[in-house]
Structure 1
């Protein structure tokens, strides 16, 4: 009797497997042993930490079916961060946590976040990424050939230099400022009277150390972790002129190669990792005493915080840049962003 019951159970299990599992088994058999996740910065930075969190959560929740390896320094594309989005679409890269700045040459709408002085605070950033604007941009990215899953954050970009405190647009006149490879950044710093110089992050630090450039703009977490005070960047101005959201994405072919259940796992892992990553990116800046700013000052950095009147001078000086770029980004998208920011809960 026991033998008969065992045989019947075995036959039933085999029949169930034969009818319900072939597609799923074939799909899982096609899984790669390793998925390449591209990052600009490593795990010492909040950006890279987001990649580590995502990879760990996916590996744990899929019981090792999906293993993600981090490739910081955009090493999969020889360090050229402006090529990352194209490489992702082409399948050179499987997954990425990308900067809206770096991808803006290929996806014009992402220039929205680089409009100078659009987002005055973190509540404004959240109003965009977590609202109608964020959903619209995810649809745009999907049409552009990738699968966007979650919004992370690199942070508000503050300006540093080796010459003097920057309190007005006049202080920037003639300064050589390293900027990323985006035409909008060239327009912004030209409008402020500076001499913007495009170069990769890999080239930026030696250029600052040698005096080939006078300054740069980046989140304070990058300034501190990269120890920019050791490469002559003695002065920092907190002007919060733009924030750089990050996007957790997957190549479409890779996405379609996974089972629906695993797609759900990867997406939820991205959402969870992104939330944690944003907290890390803002650490030391959202607290009342801003401990990260105190750390900079302890290293001998002169930190300047603009008054509302001083900041307004920069806003007025760059207004023409905003007007010029509205049509390229999409007037409706910019208007929606301005509306959502005005209605935000502070």
Structure 2
């Protein structure tokens, strides 16, 4: 009887050990550190979102997954447009990426760069959390990464060193720094400007020296980078596009984690995305838009367009939207437009 009891206990223990092997084996393959690529550091909402995500992942996985932030896209020598390719290849483990920077590899992401598509934050949320956002995530999955959540870089407003911009005519001949996207080149060319593509690292010295006259970026970037100190004394609030961010993980890295840890990383991304969006919109969604007042207090001329003035820019860029409709996808654009029309303001 005692022998039978001993054998039964031994068998049970062996079974428990066997059951525990897959998880233990999987965790033994975990990296000591995972590399997260970011364009901007923690002084900006974008980088702050990465910090929040990393901290939440560490907490939710009891330290099994440790993430190190690499801002300035330092893993790819500062070339923002190479980030998505490097992510698919495994040079980067995870990233919070810009729809703009990844659009050369994933044409559908140009949806968000179509000029004057999304007139307000409610429109942005309707698109990202509606059918169009789901279509984008499926496209990214097919492209070889695992998308988990949305963040936001923000509405891109235009600044320059010359004069206030109230009409397309005011842009004529201005050298405007833009990111490396053909759609941006088309948009600013249609408005009469001279778009100049360069990395963010090169942009600030170029503005300081007068090599370029202006740039377009969210106000959070304008403030954190202190662009008023590099001659950017005029800002126009035209809200011509919003740049959502996407929290993603390399597919092989994702598959190397246990199901429980995958769920933890996903939940951490969703929570971090929500917090990051709130940070990105701070000062613009409150009554009186305190961020605009803070910028004006630094001696910057802030121009807010009337509906009629904004419409002139919309009309001037209609040919750009028509040209890009085929590349972005008519079905995707239609889904986005439907969500915008039905949004709750």
* Shift, 1:11, TM fit: 3.6
* Shift, 1:10, TM fit: 7.2
**Structure 1 equivalent of residue 68 of structure 2:** 69
Q: Distance in 2 between matches of 1:12 and 1:298?
A: 75
**Structure 1 equivalent of residue 290 of structure 2:** 291
- Give the superposed CA RMSD: 1.5
* Shift, 1:19, TM fit: 2.5
Task: Tell me whether 7-16 or 58-67 shows the greater mean CA deviation.
Answer: 7-16
What SS does the corresponding residue of 1:43 show, helix, strand or coil?
coil
**Structure 2 equivalent of residue 243 of structure 1:** 242
How far does the alpha carbon of each residue in 1:19-54 deviate from its partner, in whole angstroms, 9 at most, with x for none? 211111111000000000000000000000000000
With structure 1 as the length reference, what TM-score do the two structures score? Answer: 0.97
Q: Distance in 2 between matches of 1:47 and 1:223?
A: 13
With structure 2 as the length reference, what TM-score do the two structures score? Answer: 0.97
Structure 2: give runs of 5+ residues left out of the alignment. Answer: none
* Shift, 1:13, TM fit: 6.2
Q: Distance in 2 between matches of 1:16 and 1:171?
A: 76
Q: Distance in 1 between matches of 2:292 and 2:105?
A: 34
Is it true that 1:179 corresponds to 2:216 in the alignment? no
Q: Distance in 2 between matches of 1:33 and 1:221?
A: 33
**Structure 2 equivalent of residue 27 of structure 1:** 26
Is it true that 1:232 corresponds to 2:231 in the alignment? yes
Q: Distance in 1 between matches of 2:122 and 2:7?
A: 62
Q: Distance in 1 between matches of 2:76 and 2:39?
A: 11
What SS does the corresponding residue of 2:315 show, helix, strand or coil?
helix
**Structure 2 equivalent of residue 304 of structure 1:** 303
Q: Distance in 1 between matches of 2:14 and 2:300?
A: 71
Note the 1:130-149 alignment, pairs <5 A: 130-149=129-148
Structure 1: give runs of 5+ residues left out of the alignment. Answer: none
**Structure 2 equivalent of residue 329 of structure 1:** 328
**Structure 1 equivalent of residue 222 of structure 2:** 223
* Shift, 1:9, TM fit: 9.9
Q: Distance in 2 between matches of 1:12 and 1:198?
A: 68
What SS does the corresponding residue of 2:32 show, helix, strand or coil?
coil
**Structure 1 equivalent of residue 267 of structure 2:** 268
